[in-house]
Structures are given as structure tokens and as C-alpha cells.
């Protein structure tokens, strides 16, 4: 029976009642790793440990964290750390849980990253809908200031660090790091032309490290235990653990932390298997942007999924069974991209709009024989021609739905209706069928669509 390896999620599982409170976090050793790092290691030594560990960003692109830090010019000040806590990828809910249930681990990780990069200001860009998470982060920041972990001369050193919590307005594109920086500066969130990359010219034109919440949350245990320890988990090119947000037609949708390289079949077992013992028909392995898989016979890590023609992305995995209409799946996915397209470039703005129109008519029984080729043509018109990866991602999702399930699209056209109409159809699982199912042994797990302040107590 596969098991989780809980490192980044350990505290929140061990102390579900109060893991987010500073008293509990301190009892559990919080901030000791940052204290040791800041008072006994040079910034270069910290960068070297992170480089040696092979830690890769957990936000989607999987870029090596230590390498990114080494691009930051040493002689330009001020520099900034920006935490990407936007988590807009559909069906991803790991960062939200980390900030709601272990905000001090994140703050400790920010302090380590700030010291390594000699940044005295950090900004947390928090998704606007994360009401509970932002309240808890706000309180955690205040508590950390009170104890001298933030502010002037942190941990008795001569290093100053301020953290500013900023709530966004809930736009997917503001998770893209350069659009995030525009939004943080008060402009409309749209991607910037790169280079220059944020590490060289980022927030207010200054060197800026943008890292994901999970990436930063992994730092305290990494600096406490060292690069070699970190490399013992995971694979050669994808070391460490990864939190996977598992949802869809599974018995226990939840966040699961596993070593990278764990098989997708084991991840499904961890999630309690498919509902009603059905077989998975399609699997989204890394958020809506990732091309579909039809088999669980693949390892979940950056390289294996790339070899399988898809990607790990944010690490959200959606299992869909035979009741899923793949035209509807393509439609809701493309509706998402159409809605979230920032409009800056024509291929994405127009292409996603046209894809939705064609998918709508197929789903409603008004499709034409040539529509499947038309959809592939639309995907080809976006892929590689869009200004930022959002457009490419939309085209990959569209193409993989049509290519893998073309027969289903054709049935919609030949029968003049959706063959799934009148049946219990789901795209990512019917809420009614999940009622009463908790997570992996803690408080109810956050799921896509659940308001983040649904849990009123314990702020
Ligand atoms: C459309 C789009 C949305 C993104 N959304 C997020 C997000 O919500 N959170 C995140 O950490 N990274 C997101 N990213 C990736 C970021 O641009 C960036 O790679 C990441 O924040 C870097 O942090 P990491 O190296 O720690 O992963 C997104 C990228 C794109 C293209
Ligand atoms: S690809 Fe889409 S989201 Fe990205 S810049 Fe172009 S219109 Fe905006």
C-alpha cells in the first residue's frame, strides 16, 4: 500500500487543531532553521545548498530554484522576494492549504530566501478569493514581527526583513510571474516581454525572485537537513517530495505529498481509487494546461511526464471515469482559458473564443463533420504564436481532447446530440457523490469551488 511522505505537510497533519498558530509552530521547532541559516551561513552558502539539492520550482515550470537565485545580481539594491500565492490553476489547492494551515513554515521559507538573495522586502501576492488564508497570513506576519522574526535585525542579526501581504483580484494570468509583478505595481495584470527576466529586472525594475508558496515552504526542512537528505527522496532530476492536489472521480479527493517519481497508479490508490471501482478514462496530470493521459502507467515527476507528452505543472491531478463527456471537458476547459485570456495577443484572445464557439455547437448537437479538423487548426494557430504560455496551454488542452477522444467528438456530430445527455455526467466529479468524504485524515480538505472562508472558526 503506497504511503505519503509528509515533510512540507507534516505539521498541518500532525496538529490539525492549531497548526497555523505561532505557539504551536514554535513548539514544533518553527523558525529554528531560518535562525540557524541567517546567523551561521553566508548567503552564497545558502544558494549553494539549494542548488545542490536540485529543488525545482513547484509553481508549474519546474525551474531549478538555486539556479534562478544565482541569476540575481549581487551589487544591485534593493532586491525583492515575491511569493506567488495566486494558485489559479484549476483543481490546484495545495498552496491554499499550506498558507491556511502552516503559514509560519511559509514565512520561515521567505526569510531563508530573503537572506540568500539579500532582499530586505518580500511581498506575498495572495489570490483574492483566499479569505481565510489571507487572514491567517496576516495574523502570522503580525505574530512573527512581535517575536523579532520579521522587522529590524531579525533573529538578533543585522539583517532586516519586511513582509507585505497583497491580495489580488482573482485573475489566472496574474499567476504568470511577469503579469503578477505588473499587478503588484498597480497596473492591469498582463505578461511582460522577457528578457529581461524578473531575477534581473523585476518589481519596480529591481532584481526580484518570484517563487511559489510550496517551493518556499520546502526551504526550512531543506536547510535543516541539507541537500543530500533532500536528494534521497524523489528522482535524480526531480528530487524531493511534491504535493499533489488529487480530485475528480476518486474516493478521497485531497492533497497528497509523495516523493517525485511515485507512479500515477499509486497516487490513485492513495486517493482511495476510482469511485464505484470504475476505470479511469482520462487523467489531467498537471492542471488544466496539461495534455491528457489515458493510462496510470507513468511516474509523476517533471521528466517522466514530459516524456509521456504532458507535464507535471502545478501538480493537480484529475481522474475522470467513463461517465465524463470529453467534449464537455474540452468545452469547460476552453471556456476557462477564454475567460482568463488577458487579451494582449490575437492568437490567444481570438483562438480561445473561436474554440469555445465550435465546442459549444458540437456539444449541443449542431456540430459539422469538419469541426474536429477545425479545432485542431485553431489549436495550431495558437500554439507557439501566443505571447505567453497561457495561450500555448489552451491549445495543448484542446488538441489532446480532440486527438485522444476524436471518436466521441464524431459521435456528437453524427448523432446530433451529446451521447452522455440524461446520464450522470461529470467533468471533475459530482459534488453530491463526494458528500461526507473527507481528506486524508485531517480536517475537510479544500476542494475546487469551495469558498476559502467556508471554515469560520480558528482564524
Ligand atoms: C498562465 C500562468 C499562470 C500561472 N499561475 C501560477 C500560479 O498561480 N502560481 C505559481 O506559483 N506559478 C504560476 N505560474 C508560473 C509562474 O509564472 C512562475 O513560473 C512561478 O511562480 C515561479 O515560481 P517557482 O520557480 O517557485 O515555481 C503561472 C504561469 C502561467 C504561464
Ligand atoms: S497568450 Fe493569452 S494570456 Fe498570454 S498575453 Fe496573449 S492574450 Fe494574454
* 251 plus 215 within the same structural domain: no
For the chain, the maximum distance between any two Cα atoms, rounded to a whole number of angstroms, is 73
* 227 plus 341 within the same structural domain: no
| Boundary of a domain, candidates 286, 320, 354 | 320
Q: Give the pLDDT band of residue 430 (cuts 50, 70, 90).
A: very low
Answer whether residue 311 shows pLDDT above 70.
yes
Q: 209, 81 in Cβ contact below 8 A?
A: yes
Answer whether residue 436 shows pLDDT above 80.
no
Among the listed residues 176, 210, 180, 192, the one whose alpha carbon sits nearest the alpha carbon of residue 79: 210
* 379 plus 357 within the same structural domain: yes
Answer whether residue 354 shows pLDDT above 80.
yes
Distance (Å) from CA 387 to ligand 2 centroid: 6
Answer whether residue 154 shows pLDDT above 90.
yes
Answer whether residue 2 shows pLDDT above 50.
yes
Q: 24, 101 in Cβ contact below 8 A?
A: no
* 65 plus 36 within the same structural domain: yes
Residues 6+ positions from 379 with CB-CB distance below 8 Å: 351, 355, 395, 396, 398, 399, 402
* 43 plus 186 within the same structural domain: yes
Q: 378, 408 in Cβ contact below 8 A?
A: no
Nearest listed ligand to the Cα of residue 242: 1
Distance (Å) from CA 64 to ligand 2 centroid: 25
Q: Which of 8, 60, 245, 290 to mutate to test the pocket of ligand 1 (most atoms within 8 A of CB)?
A: 60
Nearest listed ligand to the Cα of residue 191: 2
Q: Which of 50, 61, 213 to mutate to test the pocket of ligand 1 (most atoms within 8 A of CB)?
A: 61
| Boundary of a domain, candidates 288, 320, 352 | 320
Give the three-class secondary structure for 206. coil
Burial of 364 (0-12, 13-18, 19+ CB in 10 A): middle
Q: Give residue-wise pLDDT tens across range 81-127.
A: 999 999 999 999 999 999 999 999 999 999 999 999 999 999 999 99
Among the listed residues 164, 21, 9, 140, the one whose alpha carbon sits nearest the alpha carbon of residue 83: 164
Alpha-carbon distances of 308 from 55, 292, 295, 296, 300, rounded to whole Å? 22, 10, 10, 11, 10
Distance (Å) from CA 60 to ligand 1 centroid: 5
In a domain, 443, yes or no: no
Q: Give residue-wise pLDDT tens across range 202-226.
A: 999 999 999 999 999 999 999 999 9
In a domain, 252, yes or no: yes
State how far the Cα of 8 lies from the Cα of 256, in Å rounded to an integer. 11
- A 10 A CB-CB count for 432 gives 7
Answer whether residue 438 shows pLDDT above 90.
no
Beta bridge mates, 83: 124, 211
Nearest listed ligand to the Cα of residue 189: 2
Give me the domain span that covers residue 331: 326-429
| Boundary of a domain, candidates 206, 231, 256 | 231
Cβ 217 under 6 angstroms from ligand 1: no
**Complete edge-to-edge strand list for the sheet that includes strand 282-284:** 254-259, 241-248, 316-320, 282-284
pTM assigned to the model: 0.93
Helices (H) and strands (E) in the chain, counts: 20, 10
State the CATH number of the domain containing residue 383: 1.20.1440.230
Record the cell numbers describing residue 42, joined without a space: 553566508
Q: Give the pLDDT band of residue 421 (cuts 50, 70, 90).
A: confident
Answer whether residue 390 shows pLDDT above 60.
yes
Q: Which of 190, 212, 242 to mutate to test the pocket of ligand 1 (most atoms within 8 A of CB)?
A: 212
In a domain, 458, yes or no: no
* 196 plus 67 within the same structural domain: yes
* 78 plus 197 within the same structural domain: yes
Answer whether residue 281 shows pLDDT above 80.
yes
* 314 plus 345 within the same structural domain: no
Cβ 67 under 6 angstroms from ligand 1: no
Amino acid at each position: 500500500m503506497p504511503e505519503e511522505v509528509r515533510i512540507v505537510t507534516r505539521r498541518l497533519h500532525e496538529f490539525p487543531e492549531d497548526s497555523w498558530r505561532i505557539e504551536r509552530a514554535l513548539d514544533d521547532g518553527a523558525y529554528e532553521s531560518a535562525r540557524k541559516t541567517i546567523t551561521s551561513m553566508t548567503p552564497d552558502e545558502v544558494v549553494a545548498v539549494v542548488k545542490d539539492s536540485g529543488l525545482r520550482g513547484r509553481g508549474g515550470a519546474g525551474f531549478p530554484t538555486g539556479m534562478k537565485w544565482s541569476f540575481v545580481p549581487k551589487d544591485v539594491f534593493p532586491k525583492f522576494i515575491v511569493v506567488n500565492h495566486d494558485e489559479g490553476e484549476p483543481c490546484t489547492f495545495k498552496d491554499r492549504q499550506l498558507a491556511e494551515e502552516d503559514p509560519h513554515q511559509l514565512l520561515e521559507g521567505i526569510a531563508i530566501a530573503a537572506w540568500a538573495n539579500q532582499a530586505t522586502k518580500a511581498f506575498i501576492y495572495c489570490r483574492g478569493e483566499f479569505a481565510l488564508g489571507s487572514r491567517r497570513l496576516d495574523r502570522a506576519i503580525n505574530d512573527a514581527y512581535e517575536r523579532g522574526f520579521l522587522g529590524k535585525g531579525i533573529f538578533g542579526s543585522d539583517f532586516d526583513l519586511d513582509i507585505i501581504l497583497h491580495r489580488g483580484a482573482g485573475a489566472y494570468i496574474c499567476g504568470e510571474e511577469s503579469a503578477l509583478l505588473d499587478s503588484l505595481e498597480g497596473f492591469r495584470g498582463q505578461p511582460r516581454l522577457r528578457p529581461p527576466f524578473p531575477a534581473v529586472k523585476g518589481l519596480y525594475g529591481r532584481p526580484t525572485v518570484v517563487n511559489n508558496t510550496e517551493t518556499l515552504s520546502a526551504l526550512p526542512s531543506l536547510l535543516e537537513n541539507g541537500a543530500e537528505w533532500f536528494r534521497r527522496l524523489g528522482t535524480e532530476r526531480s528530487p524531493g517530495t511534491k504535493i499533489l492536489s488529487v480530485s475528480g472521480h476518486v474516493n478521497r479527493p485531497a492533497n497528497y505529498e509523495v516523493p517525485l517519481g511515485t507512479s500515477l497508479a499509486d497516487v490513485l490508490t492513495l486517493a482511495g481509487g476510482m469511485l464505484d471501482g470504475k476505470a479511469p478514462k482520462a487523467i489531467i496530470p498537471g492542471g488544466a494546461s496539461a495534455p491528457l493521459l489515458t493510462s496510470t502507467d507513468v511516474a509523476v515527476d517533471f521528466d517522466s511526464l514530459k516524456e509521456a507528452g504532458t507535464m507535471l505543472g502545478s501538480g493537480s491531478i484529475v481522474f475522470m471515469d467513463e461517465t465524463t463527456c470529453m467534449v464537455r471537458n474540452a468545452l469547460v476547459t476552453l471556456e476557462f482559458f477564454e475567460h482568463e485570456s488577458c487579451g494582449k495577443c490575437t492568437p490567444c484572445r481570438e483562438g480561445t473564443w473561436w474554440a469555445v464557439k465550435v465546442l459549444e455547437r458540437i456539444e449541443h448537437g449542431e456540430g459539422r463533420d469538419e469541426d474536429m479538423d477545425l479545432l485542431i487548426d485553431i489549436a495550431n494557430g495558437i500554439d507557439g504564436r501566443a505571447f505567453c504560455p497561457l495561450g500555448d496551454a489552451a491549445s495543448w488542452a484542446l488538441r489532446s481532447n480532440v486527438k485522444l477522444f476524436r471518436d466521441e467528438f464524431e459521435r456528437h456530430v453524427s448523432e446530433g446530440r451529446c451521447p452522455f445527455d440524461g446520464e450522470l455526467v461529470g467533468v471533475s466529479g459530482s459534488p453530491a457523490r463526494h458528500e461526507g468524504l473527507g481528506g486524508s485524515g485531517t480536517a475537510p480538505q479544500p476542494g475546487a469551488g469551495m469558498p476559502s472562508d467556508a471554515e469560520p472558526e480558528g482564524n
